[in-house]
Amino acid sequence: MVRRFAAAVILTAVLFLSACGGASSVPTRPSSGTMSAVAHAYVDEFLGIMQIHSVNRYKIEWALFRSMVYQSAGGAQTVRDVVAGAAISTALAQLGDHHSQYIAADGTYIHNPVPVTSCFDRKPEPVSVPDGIGYVKVGAFSGQADAALQFALSIQNQVMSADNDRIAGWIVDTRGNSGGNMWPMIAGVGPVLGEGLAGAFIDPDGNVTRWGYTQGAAWSDNESSAIVAIPAPYRLLRPNPRVAVLADCGVASSGEAVVLAFRARPNTRSFGTPTLGVSTANERYPLSDGATLILTNSLMADRNLAPYGSVIAPDEVISDPAQTVNRAVAWLRGQ
């Protein structure tokens, strides 16, 4: 999940800290002396961004971190050598956030090589709900601009089609939502979610950026900063409904943002199994060769500003997907 409220930073000069939170100093070249100045500068470039912006920047021993990455770069002579080698994977793994990744200039991804956990939940069957229960599926999405708007509209169209004046409550099914772009998800499910603050991002220095849904728009920082806005948003016939949120370990990143949007919401309860555990926010940082470092730089928080950053456990843990739906329906009916 990529945040858009902060501008990406291009480093022309990089400060290197001798230790976490310590005074600045210039690191020495690897003792082997085999890496070229060009390759060394590129490694220093992405290491500098990590050291300044990582969500774990105050937990990492940076002198040791750098030493490990330098060693993994070996005798790299060019930027291409660095990308093809182990330095980037080593750095991503040692960050310890399980969420950061790197996109090379040619579009090739280097994913975080250390998964946060394994997921063995059973895949849910297609859901059929009884009369009087609304149902909306919020799946994964990766895209921008027009595609994001169309995705948001597709979710609101589900809501509009299911809505009637006999609805006792809504099921918001996030199961299997592996993430991507959270903003069309929030804009799409907004009529069920309700208006106002829904969550936040909190960085290691305690800076808070709030986000939510208002009048068809998913916003970040303030309600006038719309990221995805639906021109003629749908409004429920019975606003502020009771909502049951379904989750499983297939829910990650932006999918977890949707789960958190309903956390601490009145008349809301969650069912299923804990999410994957990357409820953190990423930012894009461009590199000098045209590559992009997607770096985890803050934790997700709910509307009460309670921080997460790991798994989100449901209110009721139910391992059987079919029973998860049945229990959600029963709760919505007040049983």
> Is 74 domain-assigned?
no
Up-side HSE of residue 284: CA atoms within 13 Å toward CB?
Answer: 12
What pLDDT sits at residue 22? Answer: 35
> Is 263 domain-assigned?
yes
pTM score above 0.85? yes
> Is 291 domain-assigned?
no
> Is 151 domain-assigned?
yes
> Is 43 domain-assigned?
no
Which CATH number fits the domain that encloses residue 240? Answer: 3.90.226.10
Mean pLDDT by 10 residues, the chain (335 residues): 39 33 38 81 98 98 98 97 97 98 97 92 94 98 91 98 97 97 98 98 98 98 93 97 98 98 98 98 98 98 98 97 97 94
What pLDDT sits at residue 33? Answer: 55
What pLDDT sits at residue 317? Answer: 98
Q: How many domains does the chain have?
A: 1
The two three-digit tokens of residue 304, written as one number: 């009460």
What pLDDT sits at residue 144? Answer: 79
* Boundaries of domain holding 303: 133-280+297-332
How far apart CA 54 and CA 100 sit, in angstroms, is 9
Q: Read off the pLDDT of residues 204-233 as tens digits, 9 standing for 90 and up.
A: 999 999 999 999 999 999 898 999 999 999
> Is 190 domain-assigned?
yes
Which of 90, 115, 91, 101 is closest to 278 using CA atoms? Answer: 115
> Is 303 domain-assigned?
yes
Host H or E run for residue 285: strand 280-286
Bridge partners of 17, per DSSP, are 24
What pLDDT sits at residue 117? Answer: 87
CA angle 40, 45, 47 (to 5 degrees): 95
What pLDDT sits at residue 330? Answer: 97
> Is 193 domain-assigned?
yes
Which of 139, 174, 121 is closest to 328 using CA atoms? Answer: 174
What pLDDT sits at residue 12? Answer: 31
In this structure, are residues 209 and 221 in contact, taking their beta carbons and an 8 Å threshold?
Answer: yes
Q: Hey, what amino acid is at 300?
A: M
In this structure, are residues 188 and 258 in contact, taking their beta carbons and an 8 Å threshold?
Answer: no
